[in-house]
């Protein structure tokens, strides 16, 4: 799941080398993926009215559902 978000985020930004993604698994099996990018690229990650962020969350949830898991995406500023 981390690879999916990394692929999408790097395609959106101008500085893909500054993308930092971490994945944490809770005791109940939930997966939390934290995404951080350069300050000037945050607008591209979030998108107009949050459309890019919502699309990434939708794709992440679809992948997690196929794996019978629950996943959350947190965009760090």
pLDDT band at 50 (very low <50, low <70, confident <90, very high): very high
pLDDT band at 70 (very low <50, low <70, confident <90, very high): very high
Percent of the chain having pLDDT more than 70?
100
Q: Which domains does the chain have, with CATH numbers?
A: 2-75 (3.30.300.20)
Task: Compute the radius of gyration of the chain from its Cα atoms.
Answer: 12
Q: Which residues pair with 25 in a beta bridge?
A: 31
Is residue 61 pLDDT above 90, yes or no? yes
Q: What is the pTM of this model?
A: 0.88
Is residue 1 pLDDT above 90, yes or no? no
């Amino acid at each position: 799941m981390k690879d999916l978000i990394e692929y999408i985020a790097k395609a959106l930004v101008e500085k893909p080398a500054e993308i930092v993604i971490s994945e944490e698994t809770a005791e109940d099996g939930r997966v939390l993926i934290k995404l951080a990018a350069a300050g000037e690229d945050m607008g591209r990650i979030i998108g107009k009215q949050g459309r890019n962020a919502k699309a990434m969350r939708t794709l992440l949830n679809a992948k997690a559902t196929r794996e019978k898991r629950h996943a959350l995406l947190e965009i760090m500023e």
